[in-house]
Amino acid sequence: MDKNFVIGPHQVSFDITNKCNLRCLHCYNSSGTNLQSENELTDIEVLKFIDEFKNIKLLNFCFCGGETLLRKDLILKCCKKLKEYDCYNLSIVTNGILLTNKVADELIAAGINKIQVSLDGINPHSHDYLRNKKGAFSGAINAIKILSEKNVDTGIAFTPTSYNIEEIVGVRDLMLDYGITRSTLRVQPLMIMGRATENLAKILPSSKQYRKLVKIVRDLNLESKGLQIDWGDPIDHLIRFTEQKFLTNNCTIRCNGEIIVDPYLPLVVGNLRKHSFREYWEAGFRDIWNSELVKKLSQCVLSIKDMDLQNNTYLPEIFKNGDVYIDLIDDDFNKSQNLLIKDFVG
């Protein structure tokens, strides 16, 4: 595909807020307490960003967070525009606590066609422990029940921890009991990032448990008919994206406007408060996976434990204490003017 003909990504994941009504032990971006949550884009800035997709036929726009429903009214406004701009899929992730019958109807009427709720077990104590709040389980179950009665694709995200691996079977059964058969039960390894780094001793599964989980996922997929049990491996995409001359397909925008290459790499390449998304796209974001710096960074993340950036033995020091910002437009990214990075890229 000629990169000059690609005018935008197919998918956008946008953290519409990093505020949250929970403080989960594993939250990979420390939602609720991180610096970005106090500096999020205003409603006007968000809507201006959304307007950039007027001429890009997006396949999927996903509202992530934080707890997305804390900015529900803004989401509804965004959806109205994105539908006008022919975005094919509009999706949202939520912990479910704020999802009432009325909210579900509003989201669906606005064009949201996939809602993913987090559920970390079938034992209320398992979910509430990880979610760090008593009653979080009943909120999630209530949301799943409401959604199962509506005409909307209801996905569930399950986080494996040292104490809940086998509960994935019960979560699958619950989906089938509620008639949720044409959707996805999403599982991916616990990310050793954000708040998870403070709680590893309590929640990190062992290698043996992961092996068991992969086997359970395989067996469940064989017997779950239309329901797909999806094992998402972040290392897999880091390898594929950098080795296949990949044009940027899926991009992630943080709630403060930062444009990142990937949630698992410590690199910010722009901010919507400085330049438009289109300008970053044309300045090189469209083939950022082919840049030497991104390839080198990806090669530093070889296993899940390498996501613990502070203890990553492959990364140069400069990347270990938070994200490095190199603006694709203002900093002449490809010349890697930062000497420490220049040495790394070679």
Cβ proximity to ligand SF4: between 23 and 77 the closer is 23
Residues in the chain: 346
CB of 67 to ligand SF4, least distance (A): 5
Cβ proximity to ligand SF4: between 254 and 286 the closer is 254
CB of 131 to ligand SF4, least distance (A): 6
CA 277 – CA 173 distance, rounded (Å): 42
Cβ proximity to ligand SF4: between 157 and 304 the closer is 157
Cβ proximity to ligand SF4: between 172 and 195 the closer is 195
Residues 6+ apart with CB under 8 A from 148: 154, 178, 179, 180
Q: Write the DSSP symbol of residue 27.
A: -
Backbone angles phi, psi at 255, to 5 degrees: -65, -20
Residue 324 belongs to what H/E stretch?
Answer: strand 324-325
> Is residue 158 a contact partner of residue 171, using CB atoms and an 8 Å limit?
yes
CB of 104 to ligand SF4, least distance (A): 18
Residue with tokens 């039960």: 185
CB of 121 to ligand SF4, least distance (A): 14
The CB density around residue 44, as the number of other CB atoms within 10 Å, is 8
CB of 94 to ligand SF4, least distance (A): 8
Q: Residue 252: helix, strand or coil by DSSP?
A: strand
CB of 32 to ligand SF4, least distance (A): 5
The binding site for ligand SF4 (CB under 6 A) comprises 20, 22-24, 27, 31-32, 65-67, 95
Q: Which residue type does 53 have?
A: F
What are the CA-CA distances from residue 154 to residues 58, 97, 173, 286 (Å)? Answer: 21, 15, 14, 31
Cβ proximity to ligand SF4: between 65 and 121 the closer is 65
Cβ proximity to ligand SF4: between 24 and 328 the closer is 24
CB of 215 to ligand SF4, least distance (A): 26
Cβ proximity to ligand SF4: between 120 and 306 the closer is 120
CB of 30 to ligand SF4, least distance (A): 8
Cβ proximity to ligand SF4: between 161 and 291 the closer is 161
CA 20 – CA 141 distance, rounded (Å): 18
Residues 6+ apart with CB under 8 A from 132: 22, 23, 24, 25
Long-range own/partner contacts, residues 330-334 (CB < 8 A, 24 or more apart): 330/274, 333/269, 333/283, 333/284, 333/291, 333/293, 334/284, 334/291
